[in-house]
Amino acid sequence: MDKHKIESLISLVDDQDDSVFELVQGQIISLGGDVLPLLTEAYDRSESELMSARLENLIAQLRLISTREKIRKWKNEESRNLYLGLSIIATYQYPKLDIEKITRTINKIRQELWLEINDNMTALEKVRILNHLFFDIHMFRGDSKDFFAPENSFLNDVVIRKKGNPISLSAIYSIVAQSVNIPIYGVNMPNHFIVAFADRLYTQPLSDIKINDILFYVNPFNRGEIYSLKEMRHFLTSMKIVPRDQYLLPCSNITIVKRSLKNLINIYENLGKKDKVDAFTTVLKELE
């Protein structure tokens, strides 16, 4: 269907006959996410309360459908790219997001790190340089004051505000590290999220990594504090959790995005925002 036919179809959204609108609504939804820009233009021009309300509902439905399609495709074909997975979630929350601006910021940190490290450095030396850039130069930090703010979970918010929760900070930290071939991966611990420095680079879904392949752990939420395996096991024990190896092994990118979505769902449940809970639950189901 060409642009003019789609615009003609959209003009019928204002029809007073509900049966006509239901037919038009079904046809518009069948066109998929590509029609979103035209719907948004119509919404911005609309002077009718009925049309505005209907268009707003159609836009919300199509945005969710489009996001589900994107996250499903990411899971099946592109899950090696954690940045893309997190970008899809951020773009759903912020439809007008300029993701390229966020990418440029990440690339700036990456380029600075690339210039500072070399193959002769030890793992600890590389992490100290990364920590200096990430926490001292670019001022990333854990948001302890407003820990449960939704903004702490979205890629763009964290990059712009320089504040995040353990999941988002660990994800960005590992993205930057892996972009310069530093083998740092997320660790999906109970009640916390950190990263592990492995003995070499691995490919997703990281099922080949064993506990003895981990050199040490880093906590991005606490300004890159470094821990040994023994210290991490003690940490789990102190929380009354049996320190099984599975809790301390790197996890897949799909697991990271799933945990981020579950975290958002819990946050919005506590805020009483059922529409957000339902939407993110629907997206999460695509990763199950």
As for how many domains the chain has, the answer is 2
225/150 same-domain check: yes
190/224 same-domain check: yes
Q: Which of 1-10, 153-162, 223-232 has the lowest mean pLDDT?
A: 1-10
pLDDT tens figures, 76-130? 999 999 999 999 999 999 999 999 999 999 999 999 999 999 999 999 999 999 9
Compute the half-sphere exposure of residue 218: CA atoms within 13 Å on the CB side of its CA.
29
Angle between helices 82-93 and 253-271 (to 10 degrees): 20
124/194 same-domain check: yes
Q: What is the distance between the alpha carbons of residues 281 and 32, in angstroms, rounded to a whole number?
A: 20
Write down how long the chain is.
Answer: 288
How would residue 33 be classed by pLDDT, with cut points 50, 70 and 90?
A: confident
* pLDDT score of 2: 85
Residue 139 within a domain: yes
Cis bond upstream, residue 95 (ω within 30): no
One-letter amino acid for residue 256 of the chain:
I
User: pTM higher than 0.95, yes or no?
Assistant: no
Structural domain of residue 118, as residue ranges? 104-285
129/243 same-domain check: yes
